[in-house]
Every structure is written in C-alpha cells, then in structure tokens.
C-alpha cells in the first residue's frame, strides 16, 4: 500500500500545533474543525512513519522528530507563499518580528510605518523584550527575525551586523553633573538607574562601567527604557542608555548629558535569524527596507 503523501495543509496544521500546543487552538488558527486538524496530523505522522508530538495532559509537546521537522516545514510553507506572491501585484506578507527594547521602541516604529505605507496589505507583528528573550524567540521559531543590542549567541541562530550605536550617560538637567565632565571618582559615587539583567544595554553598560570605575552603585533596576528616563529626569540618579533612546529627550531638555573621562562606549546592533529556517522573500525585502545587507546573510 502506497503511504500517503505530504501536503502543505498537513504541514500548516503541524506548524500551528507546534506554536499553540493544542489541537483545539491550532484548528481555530487554521479555521478548521478540531477533528479535521487531528486527522491532518495523523496523516502526516503516517506519511513520515514517526510521531511528532508527545502528549502531556491536553498539551502537545514537540518530540525530537517534531523539532527536526519544524524548521524545514516552515521553510516549505514560506517558499510556497513566495511562489504565490510572484503573481500578486501587492504584497500581503505576514512578518513576525521580535526586538529588544531600544530597537523596538526607538528604531523600528518609523521603519515599520514606512513599510506598511508602501505595502498596506502586509501585517507585521512585533514583540518587544530584552535581548535574551528575542534570541530565544528566534531560536524557538516563534518569530521570523529578531533585532538585538547585546552580543549574546545561541546554537540555533546566526547574528548579523546591522547598525552602530553609542551608550551615553544621562542625568536630570538640574543634576550637579549635568553638562559637566565627571571624573571617575564622581561617577563611582553616583546612584545608578540601569536596565535589568538579560538586557543588551545592561550587558554593555556593565562591561563599560565596571572596567573603568572602582564601583557602580546600582540603586534601581528597571525593565523599561522609558521608565528609566522618567526616573532619572525627576530624581538624583544617573543612567547609561542608547543615544537613540535619549536623543529626543535631550533635544526637549528633559534630560542632560554627563560627559565622562572614559573611552567611548560603542556597540553593534544586530539582526538574528534562525540557522536552519528559510527566509521568505517578504522577510528579506523587509530587512533590506530596514537597511540590512541581506546579501551577507546568505
């Protein structure tokens, strides 16, 4: 008896189940009945001759077979979508993006707005988290592309250079060090308001400050750049943030720069892609729109 053949519908149901963890949620996402979704999964497992999930209570958890299939299945679905788009005059792409806070709040919004204006039928979903969370989202195939600030790595992803950034020290306009050149001793005595551990900004700030100051007195850790700016603007603490993140506040006079007798703190913002995932044409076009060198990503 000839085994059943793989179909795009089966792979679509499989990917949806992998993302949602239940047959019911996957069926709803694919606008199919739960029984039809279960039948598609059974046909796929029969065609492959191997189970793809472990059943843990009511949840479906990818086993080693399922994890091996997920990236190529998504690649095949995206290639089919690319093929269909060759015959469409307007791009209706669905792109899933994860970005660390500085990038997601200050660099991507204008770029995404311009993209959607050019392609009004497209849909871009953006989740914002710290660098570690973004890399994990790409590695787990929860998003198509990530944008990060920190130098972290992961076995399932590749990191590609994007833009340069600079960290600067900020304070309230009436802070004693605002507009002045602070000594290392003065900076070591200040109260610092910094991002939380796992943040790319915090990682670079720690490396920069701890290598030049005798101590860094961290009195507050916050998971939001905007929250840090507000706390610094109305208090006596100082912080170290991306120039992109504080540029407008410096122009508005809500914050002031603190010059320091320290080497410049520069860093590279990066794009994160899954090592084994095929990137559809829409994703590559979006990355080029954002100023990325996609030729170097091949």
CATH (residue range 8-85): 1.10.10.10
**Beta-strand relationship, 265-274 and 145-148:** antiparallel
Residues carrying CATH 1.10.10.10, the chain? 8-85
Which pLDDT value is given to residue 278? 78
Q: Secondary structure of the chain in the HEC alphabet?
A: CCCCCCCHHHHHHHHHHHHHCCHHHHHHHCCCCHHHHHHHHHHHHHHHCCCCEEEECCEEEECHHHHHHHHHHHHHHHHHHHHHHCCCCCCCCEEEEEEEHHHHHHHHHHHHHHHHHHCCCCEEEEEEECHHHHHHHHHCCCCCEEEECCCCCCCCEEEEEEEEEEEEEEECCCCCCCCCEECHHHHHHCEEEEECCCCHHHHHHHHHHHCCCCCCEEEEEECCHHHHHHHHHCCCCEEEEEHHHHHHHHHHCCCEECEECCCCEEEEEEEEEECCCCCCHHHHHHHHHCCCCHHHHC
Which pLDDT value is given to residue 72? 86
| Chain segment 107-142, per-residue pLDDT in tens | 999 999 999 998 888 889 999 998 889 999 999 888
From the list 63, 72, 272, 57, the residue with the least C-alpha distance to 152 is: 272
- β-pair partners for 260: 182
| CA angle (39, 41, 44) in 5-degree steps | 110
CA distance 243 to 233: 16
From the list 288, 285, 272, the residue with the least C-alpha distance to 122 is: 285
Which pLDDT value is given to residue 89? 45
Which pLDDT value is given to residue 251? 96
CB atoms within 10 A of CB 58: 9
Q: What is the pTM of this model?
A: 0.71
- CATH topology (fold) of 94-163+269-297: D-Maltodextrin-Binding Protein; domain 2 (3.40.190)
Residues carrying CATH 3.40.190.10, the chain? 94-163+269-297, 165-265
| Chain segment 100-109, per-residue pLDDT in tens | 989 999 999 9
From the list 274, 32, 1, the residue with the least C-alpha distance to 14 is: 32
**Beta-strand relationship, 123-129 and 94-100:** parallel
Ranges in the chain, pLDDT < 70 = 1-4, 82-92, 298
Domain 165-265 falls under CATH 3.40.50.150: no
């Amino acid at each position: 008896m000839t085994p059943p053949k793989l179909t795009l519908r089966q792979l679509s149901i499989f990917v949806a189940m992998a993302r949602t963890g239940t047959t019911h949620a996957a069926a709803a996402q694919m606008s199919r009945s739960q029984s039809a979704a279960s039948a598609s999964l059974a046909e796929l497992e029969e065609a492959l001759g191997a189970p793809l999930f472990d059943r843990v209570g009511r949840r479906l958890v990818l086993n080693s077979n399922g994890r091996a299939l997920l990236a190529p299945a998504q690649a095949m679905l995206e290639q089919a979508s690319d093929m269909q788009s060759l015959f469409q005059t307007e791009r209706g792409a669905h792109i899933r993006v994860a970005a660390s806070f500085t990038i997601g709040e200050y660099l991507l919004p204008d770029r995404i707005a311009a993209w959607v204006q050019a392609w009004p039928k497209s849909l871009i979903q953006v989740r914002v988290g710290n660098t570690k969370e973004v890399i994990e989202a790409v590695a787990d195939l929860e998003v198509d592309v990530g944008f990060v600030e920190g130098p972290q790595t992961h076995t399932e992803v590749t990191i590609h250079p994007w833009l340069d950034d600079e960290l600067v020290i900020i304070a309230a306009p009436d802070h004693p060090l605002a507009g002045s050149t602070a000594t290392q001793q003065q900076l070591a005595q200040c109260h610092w308001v910094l991002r939380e551990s796992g943040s790319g900004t915090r990682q670079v700030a720690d490396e920069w400050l701890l290598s030049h100051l005798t101590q860094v007195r961290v009195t507050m850790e916050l998971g939001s750049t905007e929250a840090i700016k507000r706390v610094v603007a109305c208090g006596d603490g100082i912080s170290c943030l991306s120039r992109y993140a504080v540029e407008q506040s410096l122009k508005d006079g809500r914050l002031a720069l603190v010059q320091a007798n320290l080497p410049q703190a520069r860093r590279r913002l990066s794009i994160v892609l899954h090592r084994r995932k095929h990137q559809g044409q829409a994703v590559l076009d979006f990355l080029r729109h954002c100023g990325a060198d996609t030729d170097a990503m091949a």
